[in-house]
Chain A
């Protein structure tokens, strides 16, 4: 397989350092690094919108009926639209573009030692469709009737009939935006898999591929294998909304539960689609900053494949109480709890990697370690929900909400910050301010826990999700625990959110300041092994000045035969 390296080294590709216009360099670029940055910053801009929505609905929950600054009063329709689009944005327009598309685009060619993606124009098309999908989604907030408010899961009949959801245009635009977004990532996925498998540098064997690249490849395969049913479902839902078909309409022989199967058959693997790249990023960072070889590389790799396959067999745990045959719950309880084995394995491997290391706690390492710690909480709280007997009570409560934020937040936010701060020197050629980075880290991670830990308790005490004002429920007003009332806990979560959102200013300030006046990074500031650190920072169009040859795996840190504590992959023995 290694011989196929010349695929990407088309003749004449190395000597094309011609001047490019602004448009072809920044807007219609086919350079994988520019497309990665487009995905990265579009994703971050969408994260600001998603964060603003969270701010608006959490203010409403803490202070019902208040005139929320910069938003106004939150009506029930507004509230539903805010929670729906917060979820949709954070998963489809933040986690997906940043973790898969931005890091995948940036890292794959650089880490496997080739000059670009194998299909650069498909790559450009992928971003353009993605941008279009984001514009369609944003437009859906401003149409008559307002944005769609039927939850990010969009269950029919509510999502299918305007007379039920009262947002005829919003619901359709939401669906079109999601479908377009899937097209964008299908195109991206083709590119990622093909490039990683066919364009590797000379000598790079399958076991020499850095873990983050493997994880992105497996994630792309999962995405492509699971998204088909949902696209079919989306077409059916679109027809139900606009053409008058009745795929999900029980009055005319349809079945609303069918949608749930199609949605979650995609929706659960989707968790792993975004989880795996984040796990990969963390693997690169903890090996670099503990100067250790990744513990049991091959075991990790097989575990990733196993997790991928198993992730297709657990979807109906989202539907335990949805009216499916009760006997089905037994099967899905078993598969769901079994998936704890590979996930626990991954955590154990990372923790074992720390053993015997020489650990430096700088900003990227703090983020990577925080990922492990916080994700552990997300993992163990999932067991409660996977156990069918306990899920009867916990389903659709704030316990679920807190649980999946403890998985998605480490993935989408912590994983992104870890990767971004780690590769920032490569992306921009400058070092980030580590002190500001660490302040930003603590001011993000402490409030994050203070937002969601109270929500576990509210959920365990029987508070259900997606209700805009708990004043209608006298039982959810009284004392909860430790002298606090239910409402106190809602307020603690909201205040913590305000602190956390405010702290993000530090991050953007740090990015701009370091970009302009940061210390020059040099090619390999972290003394890391993988190939991207051979290129200049930032890498030019075409990435490498010479063809690379690979002699070993990416994690040969602190090898006993060497004086240096790292051993770049391309350095001859």
Chain B
């Protein structure tokens, strides 16, 4: 259902969509049934001249079953949903498949800094490529992210990946994702982080290996840090408006 609005651009996006769909159909079934009975009863038992209401205590077993049987059914649906949700959660948040690449993601008021590995394929080396508000990824590679914050809480959320994780100052949180479609998409900071929260926009670029190589060459030739400072200044100016 989510895919109607947004492409499923990561390997686990479909799984999360499936949890959504299972919940949707379970509750749609229940809601229609309950709401239908509710509306039907209101019309069926409208006050009529000379027809008194019935005296039903609801304390007898034969009467109680009308609320206890639906309960068991609710429980069964609950168990189904719990099993689905827990399995997907395990795969996305608890399990950490081996990484092809690692990126460092740093939230600050009010921009994202992405430290990409350079040609050596590792971060925290001299050839790292640092970009502000632009995340460049190679399609079909498994990424680990190291999520940090320098000031307040932020949340790293890429809707097309169905990915979300809060960034907490003082911690480095590791997670993973694997882009499976090429393209470029917006993403928003998902945890209120001060007056610039609304402009903390970033963009993710998922590229083919060739495109990614080209981007890397181009980025290496740029003066390091120059673009970053310009971007930060632009953000500050927008907030000041």
Contact = CB atoms under 8 A, between A and B. Distances in A.
A396 interface: yes
Nearest to B37: A351
A170 interface: no
Contacts of A484: none
A176 to B, nearest CB: 21
18 contacts: A157-B169, A293-B56, A330-B89, A333-B82, A337-B82, A344-B70, A344-B74, A352-B58, A353-B58, A355-B41, A376-B38, A387-B84, A388-B93, A390-B16, A392-B89, A397-B190, A468-B198, A558-B54
Contacts of A465: 190, 192
A80 B195 contact: yes
A333 B86 contact: yes
Contacts of A298: 59
A256 to B, nearest CB: 6
A473 B194 contact: no
A333 to B, nearest CB: 5
Contacts of B153: 155, 157-158, 256
B45 to A, nearest CB: 5
A166 B196 CA distance: 11
Contacts of B190: 395-397, 464-465
Interface stretch (A22-30, A321-329, A507-515): A321-329
Interface in A258-292: 290-292
A79 interface: yes
B88 interface: yes
B237 interface: no
A356 B89 contact: no
B42 interface: yes
A352 B53 contact: no
Contacts of B167: 323
Interface residues of B, number: 90
B219 interface: no
B198 A340 contact: no
Given A76-B195, A164-B109, A329 B157 contact: no
Contacts of B152: 155, 157-158, 164
A397 B6 CA distance: 14
Given A151-B192, A299-B64, A389-B86, A356 B53 contact: yes
B2 A393 contact: yes
B226 to A, nearest CB: 23
Interface stretch (B26-34, B112-120, B136-144, B210-218): B26-34
Contacts of B6: 461-462
Given A80-B197, A338-B78, A557-B53, A344 B71 contact: yes
Given A333-B86, A376-B31, A473 B201 contact: yes
Interface in A286-339: 290-299, 321-323, 326-327, 329-330, 333-334, 337-338
Nearest to A254: B170
Given A256-B168, A380-B31, 14 more contacts: A155-B191, A164-B152, A250-B170, A255-B170, A299-B59, A329-B93, A333-B82, A389-B92, A392-B16, A392-B92, A392-B164, A460-B2, A481-B5, A557-B53
A464 B23 contact: no
A343 B53 CA distance: 26
A469 interface: yes
A157 B107 CA distance: 14
Interface size range of chain A in the complex: 35 or more
A164 B194 contact: yes
Interface of B: 1-2, 4-6, 15-16, 19-20, 23-24, 26-27, 30-31, 34-35, 37-38, 41-42, 45-48, 51-59, 63-64, 66-67, 70-71, 74-75, 78, 81-82, 84-89, 92-94, 109, 151-153, 155, 157, 159-160, 162-171, 173, 185-186, 188-199, 201, 238-239
Interface in A449-467: 457, 460-462, 464-467
A475 B173 CA distance: 27
Contacts of B15: 389
Contacts of B52: 291, 358, 558, 565
A539 B229 CA distance: 71
Contacts of A323: 165-168, 171, 173
A383 B23 contact: yes
A359 B31 contact: no
Interface of A: 75-77, 79-80, 149-151, 155, 157-158, 164-166, 250-251, 255-257, 290-299, 321-323, 326-327, 329-330, 333-334, 337-338, 340-341, 344-345, 347-349, 351-361, 369, 372-373, 376-377, 380-381, 383-384, 387-390, 392-397, 457, 460-462, 464-469, 472-476, 480-481, 557-560, 565
B58 A472 contact: no
B170 A388 contact: no
B34 A347 contact: yes
A358 B38 contact: no
Nearest to A557: B53
B5 to A, nearest CB: 4
Contacts of B151: 157, 164
A393 B165 CA distance: 10
Nearest to A381: B27
Contact of A158 (B37, B48, B164, B193): B193
B111 to A, nearest CB: 12
B42 A292 contact: no
A457 to B, nearest CB: 8
A473 B53 contact: no
A296 B64 contact: yes
Nearest to B46: A359
Contacts of A383: 23, 26-27, 81
A326 B90 CA distance: 8
A384 B167 CA distance: 23
Given A250-B169, A356-B45, A473-B188, A337 B81 contact: yes
B165 to A, nearest CB: 6
B45 A358 contact: yes
A489 to B, nearest CB: 11
Contacts of A369: 38, 42
A359 B165 CA distance: 50
Nearest to A330: B86
Contact of A389 (B5, B88, B160): B88
